[in-house]
Amino acid sequence: VLRAVCETEHWVCGRYFKPDDEAKLLRFHEWWCVPDPAIERFVEETKKVRFAPGVGLVGRAWQSGTPLWATDIATDPRTLKTAIALDAGMRGIFTVPVLAEGRTLGVLTFSSSKPREPEERLLQAMHVIGSQVGQFLQRKQAEVVLRESEGRLRATFEQAKVGFHLTAVDGRFLQVNDKYCDMVGYTREELLRMNVAEVNFQQHKSDAPDLRKKVLAGEMNSFSLEKQLRRRDGSPVWATITISAVRGPDNAVQHFISVVEDISERKEAEQALRASE
């Protein structure tokens, strides 16, 4: 965007300043300029500049949310007249807030090497472009947050001290964590080719089918129960399983998330106590 505007409208330098919410300042973030050693030095120096709200033309644009134009930084009282800018031949400056949902996400600035009178056509066009850039940046930021959230969720899923698995409505395993694999003695690859029914002891009556029907009918969204699972070697393992439905926009169940805790030691202790009594 910076390059396209500069090349199309004959500005020699474009910069983007992004808010540092913690410091409450605008910080240098990105740039483009024509190949010129003096202008490149100017850009390098402005990487150190910070703008507070209302300070300089950039800080004013950030605070007001409106594009601002200075014909000549040497004579305009709103601008910061830095020696490096004047030495580099910077004169005209044009600032454009990047907006999304009424919030300023940053400020685009464009500089010229000669005084330049305001152009209403360009002001209006850049106001629209600033909003489009803001919507794009907001969407990208949301995608980053989502990826980070998914990353944390995956880490929690894999490192949990209890078993986790995702199953389709028909019972097929969609995802399992290492703890669940250890609990039932199958590899992840083996389980992902299996149905949850294959790790249940069929001879033990379970309320799970009836409870699942109630979840699918929308009468409830989750349930817990104790049941015996069958390890790969055929031995039993007692577990407490909490099963929750994940629903789509139409409220239909898309898949189930199950949290599985090995309670074999507790069951053995209860059995020993009964035998003792």
Predicted local distance difference test score (pLDDT) of residue 203: 53
- Position 216 scores a pLDDT of 82
For the chain, give the mean pLDDT.
Answer: 86
Q: How far, in Å, CA of 36 to CA of 222, rounded?
A: 65
Question: What is the pLDDT at residue 146?
Answer: 66
- Rounded to an integer, the average pLDDT of 74-97 is 85
Higher pLDDT, 207 or 80: 80
The whole-angstrom separation of Cα 145 and Cα 137 is: 12
Mean pLDDT of 164-175: 90
Question: pTM (2 decimals)?
Answer: 0.56
Three-state SS at 39: helix
The pLDDT of residue 98 is 93
Residue-level pLDDT at 225: 87
Cα separation of 12 and 10, whole Å? 6
Whether the predicted pLDDT of 67 surpasses 80: yes
Closest CA to 254 of 241, 264, 245: 245
Q: Which of 174, 180, 178, 177 is nearest to 192 (CA)?
A: 174
Strand order in the sheet with 13-20: 50-51, 25-33, 13-20, 103-111, 93-100, 68-70
120-159 and 2-9 helices, crossing angle to 10°: 170
CA distance 105 to 141: 11
* Each residue's pLDDT tens digit, 213-244: 888 888 888 888 888 899 999 999 999 999 98
Q: How confident is the model at residue 202 (pLDDT cuts 50, 70, 90)?
A: low
pLDDT tens digits, 129-152: 888 898 888 888 777 766 776 677
Mean of pLDDT values over 175-184 = 91
User: What is the distance of C-alpha 98 from the center of its chain?
Assistant: 20
Roughly how many angstroms between the first and final C-alpha of the chain, as a whole number? Answer: 80
